[in-house]
Structure 1
Amino acid sequence: MTDDRMPGAEPPHTPAPGDPAPPAPLTPAARVEPPSEDVALAGTATLPGEHRGGFQRQFTEPVPVTASVHTDPEPADVQWAPAPPAPLPHSAGWALTFAVLGLIVSFLVGWGFLIGLVGVGLAIAALRRPWESRPIAAWALCLSILSLVYSGGWLWWASTQGPLFG
C-alpha cells in the first residue's frame, strides 16, 4: 500500500477503542439532490468567447465566387427598370425662328419688338443649356437684338412725327 501523504505531514489520527466519540458538527452535512422536474437541465457549460459553431471561416477570408451560366433563350422581362427620361427641351431653333421673324417685322413696323423679346429670351435659355447648339443660339441672340434695335428706331421715329397722346 502506498502512502499518498505529503512528505513531512503528520499521520492521520486513528481513534483508540476506548476514546470518546468526536463531538457532532454544528451544521448538518451538505446533501446534493437531483433537480426537480420543473428545472431544465443545462447542456454543457461554455466559457465566454468559446466557439459555438456559428461561423465556419475567418471574417477576412475571401468569399468564393462561383460562375453562374444563364441558359434562358428569352431575354428577361425587366419590370423594375425606370422609364427612359423625357427628351430635353430644345429652344435654339425656336429662338432663331423668332429672331428672323422679329427682324422681318421690325423692318416694317415698330411694334414687332415683342417678337424680338421672345427671341432674346429663348436664345439666352439656349446658351445656358449645354446640349443646345451654341452657334445657332448665338445667331438667334444677335438677330433678336438687331430686331430690337430696328423696332426701337421705328418707335423713336414715330414719336418724333407728332403728338402721341392728344
Structure 2
Amino acid sequence: MPRQDEHAFLCRVLPNHPAAVAFCETLFRISQTLDDLIDRDHPVSDEAIMSAFWQALIELPANPFYRQHELYLRPLMASALQDWRDSVTLERSGDHHGRTLAFVLRDQLTSLVIQCAYLVGGEGWMNSVSVPIRQHFHEDSLDDYLTDLEGGEQ
C-alpha cells in the first residue's frame, strides 16, 4: 500500500518533474490493483478494476514523461512485471528459498523509480537518491514478509 508521505517523497527524488511523479503514482496504483486481484488479500471493487484499466490504457500512455521516455521505460516496466509474476509463482511454491527470492523480486518498481531519477537528473542525481529510494519503498523486512505469507496459508 502507498505510504502516507509517498507523493512528497516522489517530489523530492524527482524534483521539478510533476509528470514523472504522476507516472510513478499511476504505475503504483495499477500495480497495487493487480497485486490485490492476484493475491486476493484485499477486496477489489468493480470501480477499482475499471479505474486500473483506465489508468493503464489511457492515463499512463498519455503521460508526457512516459511519452518522452517510452523507449527507455517500457522495457523496464516489462521486466518489473515479469519479476513480479515470477515472485507470485515462487512465493506460492512453499519453498523457503523460493519465497526469499520472491521477496527480492516482489517490488522491482523501486528500480524503475531509480531509473526515473536518472532520467530527470542524470547519473549523479540517481546515485544520490537511489539508496533513499530503496529504503523508502523496502520498509518491510524479509521476516515480516515471510510471516505474512505463512499467516495467509492458515
TM-score normalized by the length of structure 2: 0.26
Higher helix share: 2
TM-score normalized by the length of structure 1: 0.25
